[in-house]
Amino acid sequence: MAKGKTSVYFCQSCGYESSKWMGQCPGCKEWNTFVEEVIDKKQTEKVRKQASAAKVSHISDISVEEQSRMGTGFLELDRVLGGGIVPGSLVLVGGDPGIGKSTLLLQVCRNLSVGKEKILYISGEESLQQIKLRAERMGEFGTSLAILCETNLDIIQEVIRQEKPKVVIIDSIQTMYNENVSSAPGSVSQVRESTSVLMQIAKGMNISIFIVGHVTKEGVVAGPRVLEHMVDTVLYFEGDRYAAYRILRGVKNRFGSTNEIGVFEMRDIGLVEVENPSEYMLSGKPKGASGSVVACSVEGSRPILLEIQALVCRSNLGIPRRTAAGTDINRVNLLMAVLEKRLGLSMSSCDAYINIAGGIRMNEPAVDLGIVLAMISSYKDCAIPEDVICFGEVGLSGEVRAVNMAKQRVAEAKKLGFSTCILPKVSLKGLEDMKGIRLIGVENVQEAMRNILQ
């Protein structure tokens, strides 16, 4: 090994550093994740000298000004970002291959370039002609959009200093490389150091930078998890790449809430935002079919109505089969045990298949009552009326517990034409002025079953 260089080992999952190889990472407890990297000691000493000359500031001497956010042209994306793009922010966008990461960011470039904002799109995976072919499907672009196909970070850094754009798109971080790091592009050291350079550019020049990150088969961004800690915002695309809908979820956001989601639909012209996800999720709901009920869940500040389907039938197997799509299978098993114990339903000898229609995944406890009513409806083969909606958490003793934002949930149900709402009895307080919808408060699953079997 060359003089002045040393070899260290990094965990690919969490970025834990060690002087020797280990089978299990002490930080994240993952096995066989350590890879060898070479570090230049001279570069480390240079950084130490720069750090010794740095100045500190007292918090009382720092002045704060309200920064104006930049709209992306997508209300759904602005919602997830917390109101728009913050100047000088570093945003990581992850998701499965082909789900729409590059498409969404190119559409954002189109919206901003039409508004005469200076945008720089840097691609390390596609040629100029390929980007042009994808852009032609989206419509007219403004003249303020510049495109660069490059992977050398030193060249990219110099181009950014010359162009001085307001927004920069990096597609993708796994293709970028820093010449000061001897490892290959996409390795732990390259991804970490490249992100560090981009972070310095974003903060130093007050430029908003979006980074596209590939995900592994486990569903996390490829490279060390420390990458997620370095950026300001982490956004993940969810959904089946073969389905029409896409959900953009904020996992981390230093400038807003992490509970918001944005719903998009993939079309031939690109991604189109879905302004009313509830109506979109309920489209195609069967009429007069048993085992189907509409429940209300909340993502961030937005109530979303979704259809819960259940199929409960006698099992011919020694061990009944249980399947859940869109919710936790362990929660389904728990609720089936509650029904058998509190209502006397023979669920232990039945197969159960639970599905949240539309492919959306919801783990909020407020959908418990919907799952319970759907299973009772299928078990009794009794259809629930079309105009009934429900929400509430179900406890182990069969009680129906209160959930937050009850008024907003009822208002959303009323807006979509539902005339009856089954909800926890304790949530009726504060809903006395709600007119135009019948509210049925229940204390336990016995009362809920009586109301749907009338």
Angle (CA) 173-196-127 rounded to 5° is: 25
* 94 assigned to a ligand binding site: no
99 is in an annotated binding site: yes
**Residue 95 assigned ligand-binding role:** yes
* CA 394 and chain centroid, separation: 26
Any known ligand binding at 96? Answer: yes
Residues 6+ apart with CB under 8 A from 406: 391, 423, 424, 427, 430, 431
8 A C-beta contact, residue 252 and residue 269: no
CA distances to 58, 152, 392 from 123, in Å: 40, 11, 47
What is the CA angle 295-298-302, rounded to 5? 120
Query: According to the annotation, is 132 in a ligand binding site?
Result: no
Q: How many CB atoms lie within 10 A of CB 102?
A: 21
CA distances 207 to 127, 163, 203, Å, are 24, 11, 7
The CA-based diameter of the chain, rounded to the nearest angstrom, is 84
What is the three-class DSSP state of 232?
coil
Q: How far is CA 223 from CA 169, 268, 294, in A?
A: 19, 32, 40
| Residue 326 known to bind ligand | no
Is 398 annotated for ligand binding?
A: no
Pairing of strands 245-253, 302-314: unpaired
- CA trace torsion 301, 303, 304, 310 (10° rounding): 120
Cβ 113 vs Cβ 143: under 8 Å: yes
Q: Is residue 440 marked as binding?
A: no
| DSSP secondary structure letter of residue 399 | B
Instruction: Give the length of the chain.
Output: 454
Element (H, E) at 48: helix 41-52
Distance CA 309, CA 307 (A): 6
CB of 305 within 8 A of CB of 282?
yes
Question: What does the alpha-carbon distance between residue 78 and residue 406 come to, in Å, rounded to a whole number?
Answer: 25
Chain centroid to Cα 248, Å, comes to 5
Binding residues for ATP: 95-102
Annotated binding site: 95-102
